[in-house]
Amino acid sequence: MQGGLLLLTASAGLCGDRTAAAILQECHRRRYRGVVVPFPAPSLIRTLARPLYRAGLELWLHEQDAPAAPGCWVLVNTSQTRGSLSERLSQAVRAFGPERIVLDLQRLRMDFSLPCPGGKGTYLTAAQLCRLQNGRTVFYSKELGVRYFTYRQDGASRFVLLDDGDTLNRKLTLGAQLGVTRGLLTLPECSDILPELLANRKA
């Protein structure tokens, strides 16, 4: 695909001048307009930011690394498992300005035990989510911006957080209300809801 972005998916071993040169070469070969680094990777960013800037290419960074590249786009993850999504986005807007922010619309499909003090759950595949969700009542959390349902397993209570086309559209709308006009979706995790998202953006 020409004119798109090169998405890096792992930070292991990604640092040094050779890595930066290889990334730059791939961008030129495929005519990408920039690079997306959705995970914290300070060593990589230190070697990559300047060559990309000199080449006139965009750099989309995890917000933790944004201070290392003042001209970058800042990725703000919208997969909220605690607190308020609205407050989180408002804080990011105050920190970086709405014009630099890109909503990282990672599709949430997580299974949690109750209680869950650490806030970390288990990732669910689409098939696993479908089996768990079947026949259960699903609710919407305005604070988190996601849907959820509860169930019991081996005598213990559990809950599942999930995104769909509607929740991701709501997140985009919330971002727009704060002046944020860009969002990042990844495939294939959003392939089934992409038509719905695009249709609502055009409406």
Strand, helix or coil at 175?
helix
Strand, helix or coil at 168?
helix
We report the CATH number of the domain holding residue 150 as 3.10.50.10
Average pLDDT along the chain: 90
We report the CATH number of the domain holding residue 12 as 3.20.20.80
pTM exceeds cut of 0.85: yes
Same domain, 10 and 97: yes
Model pLDDT for residues 68-123, shown as the tens digit of each residue:
898 899 999 999 888 999 999 999 999 999 999 999 999 999 999 988 777 778 99
The number of folded domains in the chain is 2
- Distances from the Cα of 178 to the Cα of 89, 167, 174, angstroms: 8, 17, 7
Same domain, 14 and 82: yes
Going by C-beta distance under 8 Å and a sequence separation of 6 or more, which residues neighbour residue 148? 138, 139, 140, 141, 159, 160, 161, 162
Q: Are 49 and 69 in contact (CB under 8 A)?
A: yes
Going by C-beta distance under 8 Å and a sequence separation of 6 or more, which residues neighbour residue 88? 76, 80
Binned at pLDDT 50, 70 and 90, residue 198 comes out as confident
Same domain, 151 and 71: no
Domain that holds residue 97: 5-107+164-202
Same domain, 114 and 81: no
Dig out the tokens for 166 from the structure. 């509607």
Same domain, 96 and 67: yes
Q: Please check the confidence at residue 133 and state whether its pLDDT lies above 50.
A: yes
Q: What is the mean pLDDT of residues 146-158?
A: 93
Same domain, 156 and 173: no
Same domain, 157 and 179: no
